[in-house]
Structure 1
């Protein structure tokens, strides 16, 4: 804490966990000096009478941030709105939240034969099929798009030295929005994502043409699309190219800030892009379908009565489509906020309407919503709406569902149209790296589509044909107390730090053409991040990226190194309670091992990790393919996770009888599961 001016103090908050922006610029707080009366503030330095006491030795100031309950209240309002509609038997809500096979149908009797003019020429067949289904309103239940990491050709954007990839899901969503606008002149779209960065990405894609776009200028003009932001968001946080699409107004203090346009102006926008949470701003402004349709029906009943009781009048919803990107990262109550904005009003007799189209995109096998409370996780609040819907019969029992899909012959036998698309082509990782997540998380449905690259001839690879290394390291971890809460301990593993520094040194010194900023070191613990970063910087490796797993979801690098940290069993139960680490964390593990394009390195205690069923399967793949180095690893081999990609790599090799039987058993098990 230091004195910033004659009447202001400035304090640095160490170890702050910024999750879902609970603490933000101008957060409300309570402060007191040495037990004096408590005074409130809003993140801007307060005028304190005793400010001169800050210079005195031993003076203590207590600052407590107040919980912003508005996000919780917004979620409660959304749940209440949809819950009441469901309670009165409103079929739309039933189809959206609890869809059944009997709900599957189309809003048109014959599929339109309109030939879509593709804006993005780089779309594959799967993506185009999904866009057609969305554009022509082929389903009354939510249309789901699932895709693995790197499921479209990369479109790189450099931000904070992290290469952000244009995933196939986002590309599909953006193209769908453009086709809807072109095909349906009366359409108005709400596009949401769980985070501001994801919403900014969508806005950037809609407003700035990509390298594969057929558009020569801006695809959507500022008067057509609105990037809606809260006033608390700073201008510096918003990418410059989408600032023209934001609405700015002066505040009571005379300062400019982001805001929502006046109602009449808001209604002119055909696309509104915001976070799921910020969609509540539309509800506050009475810009929901319920509010607008209710007002219109009451006005017509009052001023324009009809004598013919058989006459049906149409009241279309203003918001005709809702598209949610990265839906797997939003909690279900959070996703219900935009749904409550677009859900139509239950019109009285004599009126009719059409339901908006709902589209959810995401990967339920990667990181989901961040829920810190164990009680909340026990209540499955960490299960996203996307994941819950995918587990319902209408999606899971379809013959095109992952695990049931037959890529070899394409025969689909379900009696109903699939209200979903599973993207299977992966443009990021070469086939040897892709074989691991394909088998462990995607039911062996992934197809490698990365451009052919020569395997890097790194001398430390135990198998020169497969650029993967698991380096066993059994050094003990240690911890520090971050002083933010009784349970806020962060862990680090000095042995793994030194091992990784050696690996980075070897990679950069091996004349492989690898640059520092093409290497990422990923670890689940903040203290390990800081120590790795400091150690690498001390060696002159300032551009090697180091961060936690959550930081790198959506990013890719030529080389990734995963530091597991945990080495002692007695701390695993605490990890589970705190939802931390890589042990028994299937989704976090998937994100960690799917960032690599050409080389994947994992450093950890294999004899501890093998107790986790997913790590056990991972280690079996390592041992089968001679990818493990380190202390002796006793592991019972069961043939788990033998994928088509792995089988193809060993098809023409000679195996000893025991290994041949193991591979045959794994292949038979794989095919049996696919037939069930």
Structure 2
């Protein structure tokens, strides 16, 4: 980062570290005086005021005082907006564009979206074809740089249709002058600058900017940006950011992204009426991904109720006839489990066998019975999310054993920027404080992945120690989608539960073995602690195992 700062000229340094504007901003004058008139490649953008404003502002030329930011919460069409802006800028003469991000997957996502738009436009196809034939012209020639260590077999064939894809060696950097659009990771850009003198760029687009540390982002700017180059940052600083393992680095602020730091500057301030300087930022609000009730949860928790659900009902109402949902107007289900959190043998990661078994039952039920109303569910439409790698490995094994090879299992980090029709979350933490899950950005990610149905599996007593989970659980209870056991006469007396705990554990374990479920060992001291510290939670833990299996019909599903 120090080297990057040294490479920044005074003018560029002030651009990255703008002085707060203490003068009153006239919001009405922040719209471009001459709104550019052009034909959109994606005509749906014309119906979204924030997306259209972003494209027009980037096309007309953002404020030279500081980087332009496109704040794109989940499902608001951030990538669609950025790709439209890139292609519109490319239509201008003498423009050269650098597209970069912290990871290869993020770079490929935006490059593939460009290919998708080009494939749907005869005009763009002609421009690309002509430019490739006239190799001396940089107009509409596209290149995707990979590192030498990158596995070329992973390159998407669709990307090769319009991009030249190469693993860059030192001599390859000399050909950069011949390309209109260059796509590379932030580290790749640093290598380019080291080996070659750049022909000036007019625009630098840093996608998923909130997921990269400021030091990483500066690698895409330092020594690359000149005085006439615009920098456009896009992302969502309320989702997962860069991983900083050094506590000292965190304490010095290196865990904060460039995008987040800029948004705290008074220049980017949003007033009480929701107005802001539109020459410096665009804040996307319309969510096209999820059911309105799913949007409502993370909207209230993290976005001050600013998001507007706009997804077509036909795409997000598939669970409206699912018989398992008590309230079918609220497609969020919290399934109570009281399994034990264990440590994985070969690592320090956590797992929860009972949650894994319950999750497998839900997957099997969805695949066999569908969502009702003749709506079938394919394995590819189900996403399984869990915060612990140990639980990931356990779930992958159990699902493979049941023939569900195409059900994708991943960590919260791996699902950032992704979406699935159905998301099932195994929260793992049980009878312990959910420290790892207390990060609101991590919670925000898994809450915002589902399109039509979200199933949360966990221990509400343990999770409820976190205020965000307390709100989520409260909403599920309020809407009637909080599935738990029914208390029996035995569960009404602590003394009765304690005196019969050993017998219950033994019979419970035998019953679980009969149904081919993993045996969950419960210890008396853990149960007693829960009884003393968490009211009546501990007294029904033993009974809860069998009651849950009965209510979910797991016994029949496993033996059938």
Same-fold call, TM cutoff 0.5: yes
Q: TM-score, normalised by structure 2?
A: 0.77
Partners in 1 of 2:197 and 2:19 — Cα distance?
26
Q: Which residue of 2 aligns with 1:398?
A: 270
What are the superposed Cα offsets for residues 20-76 of structure 1, whole Å, 9 maximum, x if unpaired? xxxxxxxxxxxxxxxxxxxxxxxxxxxxxxxxxxxxxxxxxxxxxxxxxxxxxxx44
Taking the aligned partners of 2:173 and 2:463, their CA distance within structure 1 comes to: 56
For 1:219 and 1:626, how far apart are their aligned partners in 2? 56
In structure 2, the residue matched to 1:460 is 324
Task: Give how far 1:523 is off.
Answer: 0.4
2:34 matched residue in structure 1:
112
Equivalent in the alignment of 1:662: none
SS of corresponding position for 1:445? coil
Quickly say closer, same or farther: Cα 1:606–1:219, change in 2 above 3 A.
farther
Offset, 1:181: 1.9
Query: Does the aligned pair in 2 maintain the 1:120–1:213 contact within 8 Å?
Result: no
Q: Partner residue of 1:322?
A: 204
Q: Which residue of 2 aligns with 1:526?
A: 389
Aligned to 2:51: 127
Matched, 1:492 2:351: yes
CA distance in 2, matches of 1:602, 1:477: 16
Q: CA deviation at 1:270?
A: 2.1
The match for 2:494 is none
Is 1:79 matched up with 2:1?
no
Q: How far apart are residue 509 of structure 1 and its match?
A: 2.9
What CA deviation, in whole Å up to 9, does each residue of 1:581-604 have, x standing for no partner?
Answer: 4x2111111111111111111011
Q: In 1, Cα distance between the equivalents of 2:396 and 2:38? A: 49
The CA deviation at 1:372 is 2.3
Q: CA deviation at 1:489?
A: 0.9
**Does the 8 Å contact 1:398/1:418 carry over to 2?**
no
Equivalent residue number for residue 439 of structure 1: 300
Measured after TM superposition, the shift of residue 332 of structure 1 is 0.6
Shift of 1:219: 6.4
Q: Is 1:559–1:597's contact at 8 Å kept on the other side of the alignment?
A: yes
Equivalence for 2:522: none
Corresponding residue number in structure 2 for 1:233: 150
> In the alignment, does 2:399 pair up with 1:536?
yes
Please give the alpha-carbon distance, in whole angstroms, between the structure 1 residues aligned to 2:19 and 2:484: 50
Q: Does 1:94 align with 2:19?
A: no
Where do 1:16-415 residues align within 5 Å? 75-82=1-8, 85=9, 90-101=10-21, 111-123=33-45, 124-140=48-64, 141-151=66-76, 168-183=77-92, 185-209=93-117, 213=121, 215=123, 217=125, 220=128, 224-243=141-160, 245-246=163-164, 248=166, 257-259=167-169, 265-288=175-198, 318-344=200-226, 354-395=227-268, 397-399=269-271, 404-406=272-274, 412=275
Matched residue count: 464
Unaligned runs of 5+ in 1: 1-74, 152-167, 249-256, 293-317, 345-353, 407-411, 483-487, 634-676
Equivalent-residue separation in structure 1 for 2:204 and 2:85 (angstroms): 11
For residues 113 and 214 of structure 1, do their structure 2 counterparts lie closer, same or farther at Cα, with a shift above 3 Å needed?
A: farther
Whether the 8 Å contact between 1:247 and 1:259 is mirrored in structure 2 is no
Q: Match for residue 480 of structure 1?
A: 344
8 Å contact from structure 2 (residues 5, 13) kept in 1: no
What secondary structure, in the 3-state scheme, does the structure 1 residue paired with 2:234 have?
Answer: strand
1:607 aligns with 2:461: yes
Task: Look up the SS of the partner of 2:313 in the other structure.
Answer: coil
Shift of 1:172: 1.4
Specify the SS of the correspondent of 1:489.
coil
User: Any idea what SS the aligned residue of 2:62 has?
Assistant: coil
Using the size of structure 1 for normalisation, the TM-score is 0.64
Please say if residues 62 and 230 of structure 2, whose CA atoms lie closer than 8 Å, have aligned partners that are also in contact.
no
Q: Deviation string for 1:291-331 (max 9, x for gaps)? A: x7xxxxxxxxxxxxxxxxxxxxxxxxx11211111111111
Provide the residue aligned with 1:566 in structure 2.
429
Offset, 1:215: 4.4
Corresponding residue number in structure 1 for 2:419: 556
Give unmatched runs, 5+ long, in structure 2: 136-140, 488-560
SS at match of 1:287: coil
Shift of 1:262: 5.4
- RMSD of aligned residue pairs (Cα, Å): 2.8
Between the aligned partners of 1:443 and 1:528, the Cα distance in structure 2 is 32
Whole-angstrom CA distance in 2 between matches of 1:499 and 1:218: 54
Mapped contact 2:36–2:56 kept (Cα < 8 A): no
**In structure 2, what is the equivalent of residue 163 of structure 1?**
none
| Whole-angstrom CA distance in 1 between matches of 2:289 and 2:368 | 25
